Amino acid sequence: MMKRLVATLAFAALTLSAPARAEDKPAKVTVGYLNLVNAQLVTKHLGLLAKEMPGVDIKYVKVGGGGDMLRAIAGNDVDFGGLGNPPTAIGATRALPIKGILVINLLDYVEAMVVRTDKNINSLGDLKGKTVAAPFGSTTHYLLLQALKDEGVDPASMKIIDLAPSDIAAAWLRGDIDAAWFWEPNLDKAVKNGGKILITSGEMSKRGYPTWDIGVVMNAFAEKYPSYVEKFVKAECEGIDFWLKNPEKTAEIIAEELSLPLPDATRMMKGTGMVPCEKQIGGEYLGTSAKKGKFVDTLVATADFLVKQERLPKLLPRTDFEAFIQPSYLEKVVGR
């Protein structure tokens, strides 16, 4: 009995320590993608992931925002996901079993604060007494609070409410809210119905508060199927490449995927920053395995902010955020 137990344990230890010699093929890969405008839509539309992973059942799940994505990850409902820097900082601090493997997009004017034209709001100070919506825990909620703090406006002087992007659009049309900081494709509905842009996420980036979305993989999946993580990165890189080289065709794809008129899709595309994969391992972005890039700085700054907002219990050391960024798959894909 004892002997058998020992043997089993030894066997288990062996198989665990052996570096995935005969790597299995996953039966199914679930990709959670954020409902926003970026090259993941191109990858999905062109079926690039399916080409990289023949015989694997690929499932795409649309997720409304970072908060929902965190729940999906915590619930182990996805293999790959995408997160903005605030939810990433939350996930890394709470030790969610994920790693950041590629830059999905940088956020420029694809995210912005829209205000009601007839309410005479010309600065953040004018928001006093108004109702302002943002999806809590997302990039725009973070930027809203950051911007208010920067300009010395007390967040308690207005009513800040938590709404999902699609609910913001509905509430805007009903006239329930005066301002909202959120993203395309729903942002446009507010702008076209009596709204104007007060400030964009791109402007906040220039002020030193960049926001971006990063592709993440579940640790368990990455350990079991490392080459499939590479395949995922490769497919997404092809999507990004297509986006950069064929803007017109991309706009058509975006328009079709999000049921938008073509001019709107083209404009939203331009508001999104797309980084070619070979540049992503540069110091401005993820960096290399040996020397992690500026994304770590953004994560540390974001986490620090969230700790001050009492949304996170404590600020982890920088090394924890460095460990979260994992450019090794990207390095293999771009051949370095």
Partner 1 sequence: MSVEASPMAIPISADRTRRGSWHLPTVSRSMLLSTLTVAVLLAAWAVVTEMGWANELFLPKPQAVWAAFVKTMTKGYQGATLLQHLGASLSRILVAFALACLVGIPLGVLMGVSKNARALLNPLIEFYRPLPPLGLYTLLVMWLGIGESSKLSLLFLAGLPGIVISTIQAVTSVDPVYVRAAQSLGATRRHLLLHVYLPAAGPLILAGMRISLGFTYTVLVAAEIVAASAGIGWMIWDAAKFLLSDVVIMGLIVLGLTGVVLDLIMRGIARLLMPWART
Which of the stretches 12-20, 47-55, 112-120, 173-181 binds partner 1 when contact is defined by CB under 8 A?
A: 173-181
Is there binding between residue 103 and partner 1 (CB under 8 A)? no
Tell whether residue 311 is a contact of partner 1 (CB under 8 A).
Answer: yes
Strand partners, 235: none
* DSSP, residue by residue, 60-122: EEEE-SHHHHHHHHHTT--SEEEEEHHHHHHHHHTT-SEEEEEEEEEESTTEEEEEEGGGT--
CB-wise, 41 or 300, nearer to partner 1?
300
206 touches partner 1 (CB under 8 A): no
Task: Tell me if 306 sits within 8 A of 139, measured CB to CB.
Answer: no
90 binds partner 1 (CB under 8 A): yes
Q: Which of residues 135-154 bind partner 1 (CB under 8 A)?
A: 136-137
The residue from 36, 42, 103, 133 that contacts partner 1 (CB under 8 A) is 133
Question: Which of residues 48 and 132 has its CB atom nearest to partner 1 in the complex?
Answer: 132
Task: Assess 129 for contact with partner 1 (CB under 8 A).
Answer: no
Reduced to 3 states, what is the DSSP secondary structure of residue 183? strand
CB 122 within 8 A of CB 130: no
Burial 188-212 (b: 16+ CB within 10 A, else e): bbbbeeebeebbbbbbbbeeebbbb
**Where does this chain touch partner 1 (CB under 8 A) — which range of 93-101, 197-205, 267-275, 276-284?**
93-101
Neighbours of 75 (CB within 10 A): 8
Helices (H) and strands (E) in the chain, counts: 17, 11
Q: Does 91 bind partner 1 (CB under 8 A)?
A: yes
Span 54-83, contacts to partner 1 by CB under 8 A: 67, 70-71, 74
Note the residues at the interface with partner 1 (CB under 8 A). Answer: 67, 70-71, 74, 90-91, 94-96, 133, 136-137, 156, 159-163, 167, 170-171, 174, 176-177, 306, 310-313
